[in-house]
């Protein structure tokens, strides 16, 4: 069964059309690539239809109908996973779902990354997976996680991850959907998803970096993690320009965030 790739992008311009086209070309024959577009963001989708883009559209009202409990009124912060879950409910025919934010660039052919995990039996593949510890205990999103009484054991050792790009299995989405419908379960996606899945017995995997969830053969494989964030290719801040990424000699790595 083919895999789905969700390119989440609220901008419509030549740069974003190029990024979508590269995904589609690189993954032709392996994945169905969708441009995931929010209809109530005051930006026209006319150019997408004109360009023949495969569009999956959603609105905030449609996400609210999922009956999850967000931590804020909008998608940001912390609720982008609702988009993936909504897509899965409309398209349950896929085994795996790749979620890719618009400001992620891979300096290689996407087939090397996405295709490299086709035979890997993992339910959640993402980046910077690590447990709560003395070095990161002051992270603001730990405190907003609510799991309910049946999940209290997980509170002893929470996990977090960085999710501008990830792959998740259909069975993991079924599990998350069931738990997130409970009003007492809520939190930021970067702690909620990894914690629930790990303690739910699902296999989670880091596709790069140097953390404990990275297979030995994959250390710094698809992104470079450095103790100094500015030396990392994949990071929260500072942002990179497309020109910086195109000028680098570091190939086959993920870069984020990459601005126009």
3-state helix/strand/coil string of 38-65? ECCCCCCCHHHHHCCCCEEEECHHHHHC
Q: How far apart are CA 203 and CA 200, in angstroms?
A: 9
What domains can be seen in the chain, in order of their start residue? 3-259 (3.90.550.10)
CA distances from 8 to 98, 112, 242 (A): 10, 21, 18
For residue 174, name the pLDDT band (cuts at 50, 70, 90). very high
Residue 98's closest CA among 200, 29, 2, 14? 2
Pairing of strands 240-241, 254-255: unpaired
Q: How far apart are CA 29 and CA 202, in angstroms?
A: 28
For residue 120, name the pLDDT band (cuts at 50, 70, 90). very high
Higher-confidence residue of 130 and 147: namely 130
Supply the pLDDT for residue 148: 76
User: Which helix (H) or strand (E) element contains residue 246?
Assistant: helix 242-246
* Averaged pLDDT, 116-132: 96
What SS3 class is residue 151? Answer: helix
CA distances from 44 to 13, 14, 39, 40, 41 (A): 11, 14, 8, 9, 9
The predicted-structure confidence for 182-236, as pLDDT tens digits, reads as follows: 999 999 999 999 999 999 999 999 999 999 999 999 999 999 998 777 779 999 9
């Amino acid at each position: 069964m083919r895999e789905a790739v969700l390119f989440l992008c609220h901008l419509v311009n030549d740069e974003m059309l190029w990024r979508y086209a590269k995904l589609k070309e690189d993954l032709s024959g392996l994945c169905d690539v969708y441009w995931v577009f929010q209809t109530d963001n005051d930006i026209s989708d006319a150019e997408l239809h004109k360009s023949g883009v495969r569009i999956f559209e959603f609105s905030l009202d449609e996400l609210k109908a999922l009956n999850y409990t967000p931590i804020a009124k909008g998608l940001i912060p912390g609720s982008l996973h609702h988009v993936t879950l909504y897509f899965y409910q409309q398209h349950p025919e896929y085994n795996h779902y790749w979620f890719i934010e618009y400001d992620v660039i891979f300096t290689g052919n996407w087939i090397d990354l996405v295709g490299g995990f086709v035979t890997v039996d993992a339910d959640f593949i993402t980046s910077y997976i690590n447990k709560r510890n003395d070095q990161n205990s002051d992270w603001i999103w730990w405190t907003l996680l609510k799991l309910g009484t049946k999940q209290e054991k997980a509170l002893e050792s929470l996990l977090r991850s960085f999710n501008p790009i990830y792959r998740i299995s259909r069975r993991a989405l079924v599990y998350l959907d069931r738990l997130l419908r409970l009003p007492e379960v809520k939190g930021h996606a970067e702690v909620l998803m990894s914690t629930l899945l790990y303690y739910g017995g699902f296999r989670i995997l880091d596709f790069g970096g140097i953390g404990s969830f990275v297979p030995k053969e994959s250390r710094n494989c698809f992104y470079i993690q450095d103790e100094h964030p500015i030396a990392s290719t994949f990071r929260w801040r500072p942002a990179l320009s497309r020109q910086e990424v195109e000028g680098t000699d570091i190939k086959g790595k993920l870069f984020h965030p990459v601005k126009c």
